[in-house]
Amino acid sequence: MSGDLLVIGAAEVVTLAGGLRRGSAQGDVATVRGEASGPLAVAVLGGQVAAVGRGSDVRTVLEGQGVDVAGLPHLDAAGGTVTPGLVDAHTHLLFAGSRESELGLRQKGATYLEILAAGGGILSTVDRTRAATDEELLTHGRRWATEMLSHGVTTAEVKSGYGLDAATELRLLATYGRLAADGPLELVPTFLGAHAVPREFRDRPDATEAYVRDVIERQLPAVAEQGIARFCDVFCEAGVFDADQSRRVLEAGARLGLRPRLHADEIHDSGGAALAVEVGAASADHLAAISDAGIEALGLAADRGAAVVATLLPATTLYLMSGHYAPARRLIERGVPVALGSDFNPGTSPTPNLALVLTIACLQLRLTPSEALAAATINAAHALGLGESHGALEAGRVGDLVIWDVPRHELIPYWVGADLIRAVVKGGSIVRERASTP
């Protein structure tokens, strides 16, 4: 039956069983190692994880359920490591064009917000995206979704935000729907109408206010009516949308059933982390400029069981050359659950490679390899509201996994930018497989 698979011959299986990770447990990846017990196995039946552990034990469990083990499709991990499929908790997958010229501007000293204020940045991508056909957007989406998958990502959050008018925002979200239907990458769509104030509003004295009203009164109701987004996001940043404007958008979204998440405290402290707690956001993202009060607000929320996941995006900080990374160690010490995302977008993070982000997180955020892996699996799943079904290899969860050609998970971020992936499995189906053994 499709969705059935028996992975055999693993040296290590990183299960991430046990729920959201935070504090001293951020790096507890619940690993099963094969040294003493012999090769390990993972069984997926009907698209869901059925059993994980010593090969002979997994066979016994399956036989006990009346499964014809010999008749299952087998996949040999050949002494590699099996992890849950990676979850990318923050991407801007759909856009048109590219912005390589901004790299040169930044190398000469221009800042990201200066380029945006001068009508470049996000706004130049909006021009290109509005002019693109649905088919062009779909082709772009397929290309980069396929690339994400090849780096081990089986589920990704995907934002609109390069339309900035009702028609184009709806077109972007509808295109995510078509991409998701094609599969195999699973997509979690987010409406980000409040990404920037578009050109047609900029000459008005009340530009930002007028656009916030457009988002709340026109765009959000249309998105909610079509049921094509799960979350509502805002770029809460000095000179873009302030905390009050962000609150109004997020609350309006929540009233329409879209859960809040936000770009918070990326470049300046804008009170974004505290706002995320106030509105019950699933995630507060970036946080490179979070204040002490912001860290405390996230810590208190986690302590009272209402955690807002801190989704950190270190590839963005690297690409912006700001040198000012999110205080990941302080967040972890304060008990805030940390997730990771690529922030794939044409301006600040043109990388679809979440495996590479794990390495950047180790080098620049000082996460351990285990902490980084938890951040890109179970915690990222929680950041997307999928914490009970995705992000871990536990019986009953989705059968999404990656086989890495290394004998233990610490080697995944160690081999910087290397192609380590033997196979990617989505819902028990092999969706990527290396043709030859290295």
Residues found near ligand NIG in the complex (CB under 6 A): 92, 121-122, 125, 235, 263, 266, 316, 343, 345-348
- The entry of Fe ion, ligand NIG, none near residue 370 (CB within 5 to 8 angstroms by kind) is none
Of the candidate spans 185-193, 343-351, 399-407, 430-438, the one that interacts with Fe ion by CB under 5 A turns out to be: 343-351
Amino acid of residue 360: I
**Minimal distance, residue 385 CB to Fe ion, in Å:** 18
Q: Of 169, 233, 343, 400, which one interacts with Fe ion (CB under 5 A)?
A: 343
Work out the end-to-end distance of the chain between its first and last CA atoms, rounded to an integer number of angstroms. Answer: 30
Structure tokens at 132: 């693109």
Considering only residues 169 to 188 of the shown chain, the ones binding Fe ion according to CB under 5 A are: none
CB nearer Fe ion, residue 237 or residue 343? 343
Q: Contact at 8 Å (CB) between 5 and 43?
A: yes
- Residue 208 makes CB contacts below 8 A (sequence gap 6+) with 197, 201, 241, 245
How many Å apart are CA 249 and CA 243, to the nearest integer? 10
C-alpha to C-alpha distance for 218 and 194, rounded to whole angstroms = 12
**Which is nearer to ligand NIG, 169 or 266 (by Cβ)?**
266
> DSSP string spanning 338-378?
EEE---BBTTTB----HHHHHHHHHHHS---HHHHHHHTTH
**Among all residues, whose Cβ is closest to ligand NIG?**
347
Name the binder of 408 from Fe ion, ligand NIG, none, CB < 5-8 A by kind.
Answer: none
Give the 3-state secondary structure of residue 311: strand
**Least distance between Fe ion and beta carbon 192 (Å):** 8
Long-range contacts of 166-170 (CB under 8 A, 24+ apart): 166/214, 166/218, 166/219, 166/222, 168/126, 168/129, 168/130, 169/193, 169/219, 169/223, 170/222, 170/223, 170/226, 170/228
**Between residues 83 and 316, which has the closer beta carbon with respect to ligand NIG?**
316
For ligand NIG, the closer CB: 19 or 350: 350
Min dist CB 26 to ligand NIG, Å, is 23
Burial of 192 (0-12, 13-18, 19+ CB in 10 A): buried
Nearer Cβ to Fe ion (160/377): 160
* Partner in contact with 247, chosen from Fe ion, ligand NIG, none, beta carbon below 5 to 8 Å by kind: none
Does residue 157 belong to the site contacting Fe ion (CB under 5 A)? Answer: no
| CB 163, min distance to ligand NIG, A | 13
Partner from Fe ion, ligand NIG, none contacting 15, C-beta within 5 to 8 A by type: none
Q: Tell me whether residue 30 or residue 310 sits nearer to Fe ion (CB atom).
A: 310
* Residues within the interface to Fe ion (CB under 5 A): 343
